[in-house]
Amino acid sequence: MSDYITTIGIECHVQLKTKTKLFAAVDNDARGAEPNTLISHICLGLPGALPVLNDKAVELASRAAFALNTKPQPFSKFDRKHYFYPDLPMGYQITQFEEPVVLGGHVDIVVNGEQKRIGITRAHLEADAGKSTHPAGTDYSLVDLNRAGTPLLEIVSEPDMHSSAEARAFAHELYLLMKYAGVGDADLYHGNMRFDVNVSVSKDPNVLGTRSETKNLNSFKSVEKAVEYEVKRQIEVLEEGGEVVQETRGWDDTKLATFSQRTKEDAHDYRYFPDPDLPPIELDQAFIDSVEKSMNMLPAEYRTQFAGLGIDPKVVEDIVNVPETAQLVARILETSGGEHAKRIAFWTVQKTDDNSDDAQAAEPDVKVDDKNLVKLSELVSANKLSSTAAKEVLKEMQKTNGDPEAIATAKNLIQESNEDELAKIVAEILAANEKAAEDVKNGEMKAIGFLVGQVMKASQGKANPGIVQQIIKKQLNI
């Protein structure tokens, strides 16, 4: 069936990292809050309530614009999108229909080693709806409006993707961009970032097929799997002589399948009009410049920097996947140079290795001082700690953020590099193991490992094996 061309566009909702809601000065963090405790007359849509725009949301949307390789629009405004649902108390959603805050832009992704540019159509601010639950066996539903009015940025891509791998890579890169730019926490587990994928297939490269929209995907894997499922389903429908229906579909994460939710026969009629309660946003050049100046480094720059240290691309991705790690490595690079940066990068990545797939896992759980990390790395550079011992010390540091040398000393891990001290032990071992010493002298280098082992044992593991080997060779005159 490879003669079908797949076309994919993605819409993504990012929850903005603000303290308060988009139009009400009410706490925005609904996680774990009791139902309907984070509400106001505005969230409830009570008559006469006046929504007032949150400054911070505009700033974060502007940061998103730069992360998407464009600039915020100097003029944007809010519209009302009408539909009736119990979790939407006003009877309309406040969104930006005609003049969004972001127009254009792009995201570069890499799939199978090839870079590809995915266009961004637009991104606009809008208020989230509330949450409803449907207790089983009852004839009612329950509504919690804590989430009503939470600021979202909806980012709409061009239909520029043509495979499930590209869709996944785009979703993942968008996640990193929003996190690095400080736009949102992009905590997928808590639904801070949700993806809708539009998929169509066609044999004619110049004509798009009818598309389906699978909504509310909250992991990169489900984005990938939903595209795969839809491509297969649509091709099957067409091959059997049927027609793909334009419709909204849901995603079942256990069956790894999409299912029909509602068809678009009854084309949506949202009756948009400008919201008279909300004056337009005008951004002047000084504001736009100040946002641009305040932008953090984005993933692409980190990738270039770390690749420059000779770090393997796979490891670079592991580092970049966690902004805190990337920022840490970059800081170390600046203060203490490439050797320490590279070593600390590997330590940090190994620590997060078990949390492989989806990105929400890999937050480092401990804050170890940069200074202590560098000190630990210096101990390795000075041959005072083996790399295995360093990892053991690091584990302890992650619990206590203690001084690495103190921890290493307490754990008796400091390597003996004092050559006079070691030379004595080596002389004793050589005297006690004449046969092995003779073998080494006769070129049987296998035996040297045995001797090194004996010295290590005698030094209670504190000798530096590299140095021990040198001393043995020196004493045997080889």
Partner 1 sequence: MANLTREDILKLAKLSRLKLSDAEVEEFTAEISEILQYVQMLDDVDTTGLKPTYQVTGLTNVSRPDEISDYGISQEDLLKNLPARDKNYIKVRKML
| Per-residue burial over 450-473, b = 16 or more CB atoms within 10 Å of its CB, e = otherwise | ebbebbbebbeebbbeebbbebbe
CA 235/CA 450 separation, integer angstroms? 65
**Binds partner 1 by CB under 8 A, chosen from 13, 63, 71, 77:** 77
Residue closer to partner 1, measured from CB, 144 or 173: 144
Q: Quote the least distance from Cβ 282 to partner 1, whole Å.
A: 5
CA 372/CA 147 separation, integer angstroms? 41
Window 6-45: residues binding partner 1 (CB under 8 A): 18-20, 25-27, 34-37, 39-41, 44
Q: Quote the least distance from Cβ 215 to partner 1, whole Å.
A: 16
Q: Quote the least distance from Cβ 73 to partner 1, whole Å.
A: 13
Sign of the alpha-carbon dihedral angle for 217, 218, 221, 224: positive
Residue closer to partner 1, measured from CB, 269 or 434: 269
Window 251-290: residues binding partner 1 (CB under 8 A): 269, 271, 274, 276, 278-282
Residue closer to partner 1, measured from CB, 26 or 380: 26
CA 68/CA 76 separation, integer angstroms? 17
Q: The tokens of 1 are what?
A: 């069936």
Q: Quote the least distance from Cβ 54 to partner 1, whole Å.
A: 5
Q: Quote the least distance from Cβ 349 to partner 1, whole Å.
A: 35
Q: Which of 305, 399, 303, 312 is nearest to 351 (CA)?
A: 399
Window 122-161: residues binding partner 1 (CB under 8 A): 132-134, 138-145
User: How many angstroms separate the Cα of 455 from the Cα of each of 148, 389, 427?
Assistant: 69, 18, 10
Residue closer to partner 1, measured from CB, 66 or 92: 92
CA 400/CA 407 separation, integer angstroms? 10
Binding map of partner 1 across residues 78-107, x = CB under 8 A, - = no contact: ----xxxxx---------------------
Binding map of partner 1 across residues 42-71, x = CB under 8 A, - = no contact: --x-x-----xxxxxxx-------------
Q: Quote the least distance from Cβ 275 to partner 1, whole Å.
A: 9
CA 111/CA 223 separation, integer angstroms? 15
Q: Quote the least distance from Cβ 250 to partner 1, whole Å.
A: 13
Report whether 146 contacts 39 (CB < 8 A): yes
Beta strand 273-274 with 79-82 is antiparallel
Residues that bind partner 1 (CB under 8 A): 18-20, 25-27, 34-37, 39-41, 44, 46, 52-58, 77, 82-86, 132-134, 138-145, 269, 271, 274, 276, 278-282
